[in-house]
Structure 1
Amino acid sequence: MAISDIGPDIGDTAPDFSLPRDGGGTLSLLALRGKPVVLFFYPKDDTSGCTQEAIEFSGLKGDFDKMGVTLVGMSPDSVKKHDKFKAKHELSVDLAADEEKTVLQTYGVWVQKSMYGRKYMGVERTTFLIGPDGRIVHVWRKVKVPGHAAEVLQTVKSLWH
């Protein structure tokens, strides 16, 4: 399968990235090869939906850890904002900062959105499940937050345990 205009799809090799991460340092997808990765894209730190999503993933992190799965959240926010967001909500997931929006564009999640008739560019909430071999196993597009992290966990369990 080819990477479509909406980004990579099931069966594609997940595009690698190396980005600044919360707490300093960089986060690279290639460095995580060999174990499954849940990569969730979200619009903005400290907004209600994004906070709920990050809290739900953090709450299930122990279950993901038991299965050897790494959780990575990504938004266009800065590392400084990520650090504040993590501290304020006691988040345990890794957060990557894509301020240039290059990875967001590569994954097809930087899209035109519309609110109250106004069009603007933003992140479409999307989650990719990447297998240990670096291939995309599952994609959730236009994610609705409530129960999403639990649904991803169930999918991981059905695939690898």
Structure 2
Amino acid sequence: MSDNKANSGGLITEGQPAPDFSLPAFPEGVISLSDFHAKQNVVLYFYPRDNTPGCTTEACEFRDNIARLQSAGTAVLGVSTDNVASHQKFAEKFQLPFPLLADENHEVAEQFGVWVEKNMYGRKSMGVQRATFLIDREGTVVKVWPKVSVKGHVDEVAAAVEALA
């Protein structure tokens, strides 16, 4: 469940306050973005679907760099429209050490401007655009990576996180 109305203005931009939300998650139960305020920075990454090639690569790269991110005082949260049961299977299969949040009604994806029309092989549908947001301890979006290309992405995120520390 989200606390703000959908973002009709497109992608959230740097310098804006991150919309607060609460979503079911594996393994934590329910996670709110405000749980991290004044405690940790947050890497909030949106991905299209559990167990697909690009999403698996991205999740595993965050997994492999989790110590680097955590040592800089930063939590990682993955968000997709998959349900908690799907997240549990995905997280267990790939030993993901960070929460996966279930945005089944795509409300949070809409708030952050990543619920978009996609065109694949001439077929249009709505879905999550892969994007990452770095949110500081005050709840401000300090860096946005729109339309993420997976290769090298986590290194870019880690460098930005380390610059915040």
- Per the normalisation by structure 1, the TM-score is 0.95
State the distance in 1 between where 2:56 and 2:81 align: 15
Instruction: Provide the C-alpha distance between the structure 1 equivalents of 2:70 and 2:157, rounded to a whole number of angstroms.
Output: 13
User: Structure 2 unaligned runs (5+)?
Assistant: 1-6
Q: For residue 110 of structure 2, what is the amino acid of its counterpart?
A: Q
What 5-or-longer segments of structure 1 have no aligned partner?
none
Task: Please give the alpha-carbon distance, in whole angstroms, between the structure 2 residues aligned to 1:96 and 1:72.
Answer: 7
Cα offset for 1:24?
A: 4.7
- 2:74 counterpart residue number: 69
Whole-angstrom CA distance in 1 between matches of 2:9 and 2:148 = 19
CA distance in 2, matches of 1:68, 1:37: 9
Instruction: Tell whether the 8 Å contact from 1:43 to 1:75 is kept in structure 2 after alignment.
Output: yes
Q: Distance in 2 between matches of 1:100 and 1:17?
A: 13
**Number of matched pairs:** 158
Letter in 2 for 1:23: P
- What CA distance in whole angstroms lies between the structure 2 residues aligned with 1:115 and 1:70? 33
| Superposed displacement of residue 4, structure 1 | 6.5
**What aligned pairs does 1:23-102 form with structure 2 within 5 A after superposition?**
23-34=27-38, 35-102=40-107
Could you say what secondary structure the match of 2:26 adopts? Answer: coil
Please say if residues 23 and 103 of structure 2, whose CA atoms lie closer than 8 Å, have aligned partners that are also in contact: yes
Moved over 2 A (4+): none
TM-score w.r.t. length of structure 2? 0.93
**Residue 6, structure 1, aligned to residue 10, structure 2:** yes
Alignment RMSD: 1.1
Percent of paired sites with the same residue: 46
